[in-house]
Structure 1
């Protein structure tokens, strides 16, 4: 696989006619995340990109609590599409952790990587993971992928049990930023693109320390598989003077298996034609390439996605 975006559009155009250029408009609900968050921004951008093509396809972003909630909605049929973190998506397919049984979901593409952020006030008492013992930590909203990865990191660090476990508080990003600024939590977990605007804004008013997490990647991979990778927050973002090693988790665009294959091909045509626009507000410097996009681990590709990738990239 591997070709320019112009070739992608030209080759995929032939696939779209059967599903999007005739007949009634197909309306697909897309579970995203909280308003103002990166998943919601991605969903809004995708809806606009699809509308601009004139295809007989409408994407309706639905605000949610994010990954876990999105997969539950996808499984129960209240949405047709969803965005979710790879670790939660694998849990759903395998019927583990937050999911009591395997969920029938398929992947369309791995679209970008989340970076796990663990930040504390630079002038505060926390200088390492061990210092979080007994302290309140903003650990993601209920139903979010942030909550899943934060809980796993704290368990790997031995901070979820014992005489003085970290006190996890279920807070979304905006509430987490507010709590750290006001001092009602001592640390904040976040999983998202780099830079995340809300954290850039916080760093501009409050000197921050970002704690390295890459030392926990091995334990997480041993326990949960290769959905976790070592990545680096680069120097320059958030005022960092040196890079900080941390944990990367992919994000998948997902669909119910009963979404027609032709509709999936049309949607993927838009995703690959307009990926720069889709990722602009989500993560800086990312590229969407086929060999990256098809790497969806234990989450099977939708049959329409398989056909799309084979037809366009060989």
Structure 2
């Protein structure tokens, strides 16, 4: 990711926008990719993607934006400040429908690729005595960075477990995963929620800390209640034992899909070029982070995308042999 800058491209361009998230300067195209926090998976994948696109599309200069996560990414996409948003499906559906954080501000988003599965990880350490969602009552927790899909999904899980996010915790912080890990190490936090691909660096860091016994809290039993209210965007999965240092048992948890989303008015030829370059580099992408191994032809399903396909993406994937 050397050479990948993290700046507001739109401000630098004086606000002149010719197409979604793109700025033209002397025939060059600058494309911003909304990712996430540096302790997650979106950021390294987005950085690699920016390199692929910059090398593979003539005249293209792609950069990454560090953000709070999916909700912020979809808001940036809706404001035409980025060209690509890496996002969880639940946030994309909320954005398209103008629900929750997008109330009154729906985003005309379209999927161009299904990437991998994000896992809800409820993280603590043995010394806290927390072994279940119910044990978190009266504890100090973090529900994720502001503007993150972690926050949205954490609130839904807390609700599904019968807890009140505003009343049942001794303190509720809104920290990034890296900040949460450091706060647990310092004895200032008891548990945190984080939604990401696995493994993720912040949790690996916590598990590898000397004298710390990592604990991941099971919560799959609450999924039916959550789906009943919010729709079939969540599903149960298991994080195998040993995924993280010190993780001695499988973690039964709630998962959600990740997609690459663009605005519905992104030109078809640009969507096609983005997908051609990304698909060509898929093996290298999987070396950047193992989560990208799930970026496969079989994964390209309309049900997994959650929101409608961009017509050019639908054409591209059908041309590759996907059944969608």
TM value normalised by structure 2 = 0.84
Q: Which structure 1 segments of 5+ residues have no match?
A: 1-22
Q: Deviations over 1:67-90 (max 9, x none)?
A: 111111100111111111111111
- Larger relative contact order (CA 8 Å, sep ≥ 6): 1
Between the two proteins, the alignment pairs up a number of residues equal to 292
Q: Deviations over 1:185-219 (max 9, x none)?
A: 11111111111122112101121111111111211
Give the match for residue 114 of structure 1.
118
Q: 2:188 aligns to what SS in structure 1?
A: coil
Quick check: 1:249 aligned with 2:252? no
Q: How far apart are residue 92 of structure 1 and its match?
A: 0.5
Q: How far apart are residue 156 of structure 1 and its match?
A: 0.5
Give the match for residue 27 of structure 1.
30
Equivalent residue in structure 1 for 2:128, among 108, 120, 124: 124
Give the match for residue 224 of structure 1.
230
Q: 1:309 aligns to what SS in structure 2?
A: helix
Equivalent residue in structure 2 for 1:263, among 244, 262, 270: 270
Give the match for residue 17 of structure 1.
none
Q: How far apart are residue 248 of structure 1 and its match?
A: 0.9
Greater shift after overlay, 266-275 or 154-163? Answer: 154-163
Alignment of 1:23-172 (within 5 A): 24-53=27-56, 55-101=58-104, 102-160=106-164, 164-165=168-169, 167-172=171-176
Quick check: 1:273 aligned with 2:277? no
Q: 1:123 aligns to what SS in structure 2?
A: helix
Counterparts in 2 of 1:119 and 1:188: CA distance versus 1, 3 Å: same
Counterparts in 2 of 1:36 and 1:117: CA distance versus 1, 3 Å: closer
Counterparts in 2 of 1:282 and 1:298: CA distance versus 1, 3 Å: same
Cα RMSD, aligned residues only:
2.0
Q: How far apart are residue 289 of structure 1 and its match?
A: 1.9
Give the match for residue 12 of structure 2.
none
Q: More helix per residue: 1 or 2?
A: 1
Q: 1:114 aligns to what SS in structure 2?
A: strand
TM value normalised by structure 1 = 0.87
Counterparts in 2 of 1:281 and 1:312: CA distance versus 1, 3 Å: closer
